């Protein structure tokens, strides 16, 4: 790792949407708290980058990102810029907070400015639509191609963060916990220390696969819960979808090499419950609009931010089929997105299956 034993000297956050901006705030608050504990001036720089230079100039001047986290005052320590090269210069931790389907293109643009010893932290929760790759796999593949380090080098230096991460609640400093997963406990701990605050508690694990799959599939399950809500199904129905959604998420994670305990923790059950239950959830909101009768085009037009589950669901189903994993809820959601089924067909498809033992096995 570059940086110091105490953590990174400079952190660049790429992506100034709601979660990117919020996580940049977490990082700046963490840096300020660490400096205060040592009775020293802050030694860590945190820079937020966004594509819209004019908007980022406004954030830099006002310390407010009204479009994505309205009403939240950002820390004075947090810098903002529309200059990608400047943001990445000297950064030993680079946080990737761009939508899953835009990640590869963003990595290609960032590669010439990236420190070869930098650590990458992915916040995106999705599968790449065309390849079915997890975000850590996209990072390793793309940077292995675009830099003078190979894919294995970047795989070992790429971490992921997941858990119940509803951005606005965290921006308001409501307490929450999350998980940093990395190839080693040492690396995960190094990153976790950089984002620990009084309101944001990171745990660590070394199950990158399970952590990512939990974050991907919960978006698809949240679409299903949203559809059920739009159809005015009750709490029994939604609880059943959440519970069986966790079972199929776990089946897929285990088939790919993830660990059972990851899916019963913050990156699995914790993230699933938050995303399926909260009106702040973009995927639940998108599902609810579908359940109320909106077309997919109308939902996408109305949504101001990306609902990753819409784009990832077909890739999740394809991945499950390649590994022989039964995922009936995901299959139902994909059929509805493709307009092969109507939302009225959701209930019988979920409940009209053969009698079998409850569990995570196929």
Active site residues: 218
- Binning the chain into helix, strand and coil, the percentages to the nearest 5 are 55, 10, 35
**Cα 177-100-176 angle, rounded to 5 deg:** 10
Contact call for residues 80 and 50 (beta carbons, < 8 A): yes
| Nearest Cα to Cα of residue 236 among 94, 350, 71, 97 | 350
Q: Would the CA dihedral through 196, 202, 208, 212 be positive or negative?
A: negative
Q: How many CB atoms lie within 10 A of CB 82?
A: 18
Q: How many CB atoms lie within 10 A of CB 25?
A: 28
The length of the chain, given as a count of residues: 362
Contact call for residues 61 and 88 (beta carbons, < 8 A): no
Segment (H or E) for 243: helix 235-255
Q: Would the CA dihedral through 226, 232, 233, 236 be positive or negative?
A: positive
Contact call for residues 312 and 220 (beta carbons, < 8 A): yes
In terms of Cβ atoms closer than 10 Å to its own Cβ (0-12, 13-18, 19+), residue 340 is exposed
* Residue whose pair of structure tokens reads 């979660």 in the numeric block: 19
Half-sphere exposure of 333 (CA within 13 A, CB side): 33
CA distance 100 to 78: 24
CA distance 74 to 165: 18
Q: How many CB atoms lie within 10 A of CB 247?
A: 16
Could you tell me which residues come within 8 angstroms of residue 357 by beta carbon, excluding any fewer than 6 positions away?
none
* Lateral strand order in the sheet of 45-49: 78-81, 45-49, 10-14, 93-96, 119-122, 158-162, 176-181, 200-205
């Amino acid at each position: 790792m570059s940086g110091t034993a105490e953590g990174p000297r400079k952190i660049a956050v790429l992506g100034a949407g709601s979660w990117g901006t919020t996580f940049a705030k977490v990082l700046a608050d963490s840096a300020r708290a660490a400096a205060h504990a040592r009775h020293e001036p802050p030694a860590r720089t945190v820079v937020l980058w966004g594509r819209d230079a004019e908007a980022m100039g406004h954030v830099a001047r006002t310390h407010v990102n009204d479009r994505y986290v309205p009403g939240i005052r950002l820390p004075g320590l947090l810098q903002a810029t529309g200059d990608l090269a400047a943001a990445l210069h000297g950064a030993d931790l680079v946080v990737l907070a761009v939508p899953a389907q835009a990640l590869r293109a963003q990595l290609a643009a960032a590669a010439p400015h990236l420190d070869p010893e930098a650590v990458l932290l992915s916040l995106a929760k999705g599968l790449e639509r065309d390849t079915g790759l997890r975000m850590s796999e996209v990072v390793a593949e793309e940077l292995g191609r675009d830099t003078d380090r190979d894919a294995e080098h970047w795989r070992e230096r790429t971490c992921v963060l997941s858990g119940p991460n509803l951005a606005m609640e965290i921006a308001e400093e409501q307490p929450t916990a999350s998980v940093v997963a990395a190839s080693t406990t040492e690396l995960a701990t190094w990153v976790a220390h950089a984002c620990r605050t009084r309101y944001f508690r990171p745990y660590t694990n070394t199950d990158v696969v399970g952590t990512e799959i939990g974050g991907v599939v919960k978006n698809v399950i949240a679409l299903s819960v949203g559809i059920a809500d739009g159809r005015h199904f009750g709490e029994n129905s939604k609880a059943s979808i959440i519970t069986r959604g966790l079972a199929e998420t776990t089946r897929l994670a285990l088939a790919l090499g993830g660990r059972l305990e990851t899916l019963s923790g913050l990156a699995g059950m914790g993230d699933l419950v938050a995303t399926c239950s909260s009106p702040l959830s973009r995927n639940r909101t998108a599902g609810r609009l579908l359940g109320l009768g909106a077309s997919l085009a109308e939902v996408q037009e109305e949504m101001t931010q990306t609902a990753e589950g819409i784009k990832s669901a077909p890739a999740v189903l394809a991945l499950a089929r390649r590994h022989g994993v039964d995922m009936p809820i995901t299959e139902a959601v994909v059929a509805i997105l493709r307009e092969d089924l109507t939302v009225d067909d959701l209930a019988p498809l979920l409940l009209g299956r053969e009698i079998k033992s409850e569990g995570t096995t196929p």
